[in-house]
């Protein structure tokens, strides 16, 4: 096996000697750097949001728009006589601005990297990740000053196959020091923990992809809670050599945002935008195998969960075994945990999926699978 190469411009700090800023402690103690104070109109309290959702209040002023909740029927094809059509639901008025991050596109977008072969025949996949400060929209009219990989939250879904050589070119174009910590088996200096990358500097991570399964990557710069919550995370998917059965594959990252910086989340979602998949249901085919790559990166709350309506799924925790699964309709995941879910709908119509913590669902973590009878979805 070749020794991983570090780029010449990597930061030369020795392991065990992290950036002195690492010792400044929890969030409030870290001096703000190039970050403007939050405008007061961003400060939606969790309680206000929840109350608005529960009561269908007229609206709450948010930055650049109105976050209001009203009862609506599913926007899926309502010709289906499914049971969900008999229920009113809550969701914010309006939609996120076009041209930004699209959670519907993110669902099925996998970055397989630039592929070549090393002299020994091993497949080499190269990826580019750039840390950059970006304002993102987490609900209609609600903006969040994020730190991102490649301008999006979550970052690109990095996909490879067990045994591939993975090479990640990382540039820190943000205003704070960052790293990329990949879950997996690799050398210490490829772990993204001690080699802090200062703004304007770069680093190259290189390792063999192992084990196969559903993993993640995230910044590991202290204070860790802040660097993750600000948006520096993504999915790292390692396929088994023999592959998995053909399926409609969807990436779902359970995340949440503390939009008023009080240490609690105000908006919950899969893939960043609250209520997105309720307003834009995910179409599935009846009798088609669906595979959800589910990752939990929610900060501030110890656990998150996924509950599927009208069905059960095979739950492969961490995706590291092909022959061992749980048959259930609800899975709980702690921060950093992930699971691969496989299911097939036998009945057409709209079916909800959501966090089984009702509060999370009412604050945005809810969606709809619109199961189609016709084959050409």
Cα separation of the two ends of the chain:
45
How many positions of this chain bind Cu ion (CB under 5 A)? Answer: 5
Task: Give the residue from 358, 146, 122 showing the smallest Cα distance to 241.
Answer: 122
Residues 208-237 that bind Cu ion (CB under 5 A): 219, 221, 227, 232
| Least Å from the CB of residue 303 to Cu ion | 23
**Measured at the alpha carbon of residue 301, what is the angle toward residues 300 and 304, in degrees to the nearest 5?**
140
Q: Whose Cβ is closer to Cu ion: residue 66's or residue 150's?
A: 150
* Spatial separation of the C-alpha atoms in residues 17 and 30, rounded to whole Å: 19
DSSP code at position 300: S
Task: Find the binder of Cu ion among 159, 167, 178, 291 (CB under 5 A).
Answer: 178
Q: Whose Cβ is closer to Cu ion: residue 125's or residue 227's?
A: 227
Site string for Cu ion, 25-44 (x = CB under 5 A): --------------------
| Least Å from the CB of residue 232 to Cu ion | 5
* Spatial separation of the C-alpha atoms in residues 125 and 257, rounded to whole Å: 32
Q: Whose Cβ is closer to Cu ion: residue 96's or residue 219's?
A: 219
* Spatial separation of the C-alpha atoms in residues 182 and 129, rounded to whole Å: 13
| Least Å from the CB of residue 62 to Cu ion | 26
Q: Whose Cβ is closer to Cu ion: residue 59's or residue 223's?
A: 223
| Least Å from the CB of residue 281 to Cu ion | 34
Q: Which residue is nearest to Cu ion (CB)?
A: 219
Cβ-contact 365, 271 below 8 angstroms: no
CA-atom Rg of the chain in angstroms: 21
Q: Whose Cβ is closer to Cu ion: residue 219's or residue 284's?
A: 219
**173-183 exposure pattern, b = at least 16 Cβ within 10 A, e = fewer:** ebebbbbbbbb
Cβ-contact 283, 330 below 8 angstroms: no
Q: Whose Cβ is closer to Cu ion: residue 178's or residue 279's?
A: 178
| Least Å from the CB of residue 174 to Cu ion | 8
Interface with Cu ion (CB under 5 A): 178, 219, 221, 227, 232
């Amino acid at each position: 096996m070749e020794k991983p190469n570090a780029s010449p411009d990597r930061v030369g700090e020795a392991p065990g000697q992290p950036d002195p800023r690492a010792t400044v402690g929890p969030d409030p103690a870290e001096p703000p750097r190039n970050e403007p104070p939050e405008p007061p109109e961003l400060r939606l309290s969790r309680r206000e949001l929840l109350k608005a959702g529960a009561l269908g209040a007229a609206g709450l002023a948010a930055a650049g728009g109105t976050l209001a909740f009203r009862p609506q029927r599913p926007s899926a094809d309502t010709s289906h006589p499914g049971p969900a059509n008999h229920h009113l639901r809550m969701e914010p008025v309006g939609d996120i601005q076009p041209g930004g991050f699209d959670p519907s596109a993110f669902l099925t977008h996998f970055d397989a990297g630039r592929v070549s072969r090393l002299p020994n025949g091993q497949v080499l996949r190269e990826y580019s990740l750039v840390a950059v400060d970006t304002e993102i929209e987490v609900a209609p009219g609600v903006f969040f000053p994020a730190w991102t990989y490649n301008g999006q939250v979550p970052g690109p879904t990095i996909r490879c196959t067990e045994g591939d050589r993975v090479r990640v070119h990382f540039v820190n174009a943000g205003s704070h020091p960052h790293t990329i910590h990949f879950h997996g088996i690799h050398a210490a200096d490829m772990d993204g923990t001690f080699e802090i990358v200062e703004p304007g500097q770069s680093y190259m991570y290189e390792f063999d992809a192992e084990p196969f399964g559903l993993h993640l990557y995230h910044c590991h710069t202290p204070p860790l809670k802040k660097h993750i919550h600000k948006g520096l995370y993504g999915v790292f998917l390692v396929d088994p050599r023999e592959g998995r059965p053909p399926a409609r594959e969807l990436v779902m990252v359970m995340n949440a945002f503390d939009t008023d910086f009080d240490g609690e989340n105000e908006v919950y979602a899969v893939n960043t935008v609250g209520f997105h998949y309720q307003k834009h249901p995910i179409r599935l085919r009846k009798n088609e195998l669906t595979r959800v790559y589910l990752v939990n990166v929610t900060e501030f709350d110890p656990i998150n969960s996924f509950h599927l309506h009208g069905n059960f799924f095979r739950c492969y925790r961490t995706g590291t075994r092909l022959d061992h699964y749980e048959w259930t309709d609800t899975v709980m995941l702690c921060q950093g945990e992930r699971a691969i879910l496989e299911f097939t709908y036998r009945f057409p119509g709209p079916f909800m999926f959501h966090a089984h913590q009702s509060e999370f669902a009412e604050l945005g973590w809810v969606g709809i699978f619109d199961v189609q009878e016709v084959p050409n979805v």
